[in-house]
Chains A and B, each alone.
Chain A
Amino acid sequence: MGLLSKKDAKLITDPLADNNPITIQVLGICSALAITAELEASIVMSISVLFVMGVGNVVISLMRNIIPSKIRIIAQLIVVATLVIIVDLVLKAFAYELSKTLSVFVGLIITNCIIMGRFEAFALGNGPWRSFLDGIGNAAGYAVILIIVGFFRELLGSGTLLGIPVLGDPIEKTGLYSIGYENNGFMLLSPMALIVVGIIIWVQRTRNKDLVED
């Protein structure tokens, strides 16, 4: 990364693994549970959050010296809500089909604790460029977990990936189903997302002992 200094590059790479917003900071769990029953929904949510985090962090960072500390949380909430509503309105007017796909996610993005968490922890104390990198990095870290969870839940729960059957037809009993394999309907329910996230946390902390807290 010739473009970025070592310190700046760390802002992007850290949240991908050792300071992952979901598995280490334990933020954004709610949306990770809610929308990962399908891989496609995970990807759409990831892209949306990437956009809102990148832009939101920059806006908050630019405003960091004028936001009164007493009402900073509300100010952050207004910024993220405004951003999301603007995007929603513009999409509704110019890309209606896309907006219908995303409309479900609007509420989930506004209440995503990763966004508020990064505004509060980073953008309020750092310049716009670094805040932008931090936003992108954290959103990417979030996306990685979301996509892993979405992948396993859709594969084991419905036997499909991105809506395409990959294990055969469960009703006609072809492919894997012909030897008695069954979809695990429990994977479609939110508790299993938590268990999958738990397994990821377990694997990650086993590989990197520094992450284990006493």
Chain B
Amino acid sequence: MEKRTDKNSYTIIFAIGMVLVVGSLLAYLASSLKPRISENQRLEKQQNILYAMGINDNDETSAVFISTDEAPDAFSENVSDQIVITIDANGKVLSNQSRDEYFNATKQEPYLIDVKKQQASAKAGGERKLPLFVGKNKQGKTVYVAPIYGKGLWDAIWGYVAMDENMVVQGAYFDHKGETPGLGANIKQRYFMDDFYGEHLLTENGTFKGITVAKGNADPKNNDKTDNEVDAIAGATITGDGVSAMIKSDLKLYKPFFDNLKKQGK
């Protein structure tokens, strides 16, 4: 005898019912939790930027953000301005806005600018907004933090790089969506991120070269800060290449800003 559950009509009704139940459950959960989740993400961005600036609770070996309670205050205290540079598809600078100018025009904080969307807009031939966060690090030095975004082995990787006016790295934070635990995921480990400290993005004669995550650069202690290279992570070649690529393509766009800064300084 055929079981009730073997009938085609039952199967279809069951499938529809299950999809409806599961779909509405997930939709309800996602929309009701969305405010909390986006608040968490907002705080995380502040923590990331502060981390790159050197404002963090790092201990000897692990990377620790300042707590989410402290982050908003520390952010407004330490980040003195959030510049938004708008460039066209050829990299020509169209405008430089301060945080207040940008906020009055768009009602959006510059640190919430979605780098991925800006990259897509530039790729489609449109303009691109480049946020840059200005502040003083713990040593009282003025640093400029730029967000970067790229792809690793499995999924997105991104980060924040703090530079001084000569484009020497003063701190870096990297994160990833789904790199392999124990291998590519280690780009967010201290031993990798700390290597970037003091590393030059420019060559000696001032052209932009970026920083390459290099295998076998015979400098595992990273003493040579002007070789534009840091030591790679074993077993994470593609993730490392992704880090090199996003540093190269995204930070290059800020070079005109720093050139200009120097001209004004002179």
Contact = CB atoms under 8 A, between A and B. Distances in A.
A92 to B, nearest CB: 5
A22 B221 CA distance: 40
Nearest to A106: B178
B181 A104 contact: yes
B179 interface: yes
Given A86-B29, A185-B234, A103 B178 contact: yes
Interface in A80-136: 82, 85-86, 89-90, 92-94, 96, 100, 103-105, 107
A179 interface: no
A80 B221 CA distance: 45
Q: Looking at chain A's contact residues, is the secondary structure mostly helix, strand, loop, or mixed?
A: helix
A68 B6 CA distance: 6
Interface string B3-33: 1011100110011001100100110011001
Given A70-B6, A103-B177, A188 B26 contact: no
Nearest to A170: B220
B37 A92 contact: yes
B10 A68 contact: yes
A171 B221 contact: yes
B263 interface: no
Contact of B61 (A38, A44, A100, A163): A163
Contact size class for B? Answer: 35 or more
Interface string B214-232: 0000001100000000000
B76 interface: no
Interface string A47-76: 000000000000000000111111100110
Given A37-B183, A75-B18, A89 B177 contact: no
Contacts of B30: 89
Contacts of A69: 3, 5-6
Contacts of A75: 14, 18
Given A37-B183, A89-B26, 9 more contacts: A34-B180, A38-B181, A67-B5, A68-B5, A70-B11, A78-B19, A86-B25, A92-B37, A171-B221
List the 9 closest pairs (A to B, CB-CB), nearest first.
A37-B182, A41-B181, A38-B182, A188-B235, A93-B36, A68-B11, A93-B33, A96-B40, A35-B181
Interface of B: 3, 5-7, 10-11, 14-15, 18-19, 22, 25-26, 29-30, 33, 36-37, 40, 44, 61-62, 68, 175, 177-183, 185, 220-221, 234-235
Interface of A: 34-38, 41, 44-45, 65-71, 74-75, 78, 82, 85-86, 89-90, 92-94, 96, 100, 103-105, 107, 153-154, 157, 163, 171, 185, 188-189
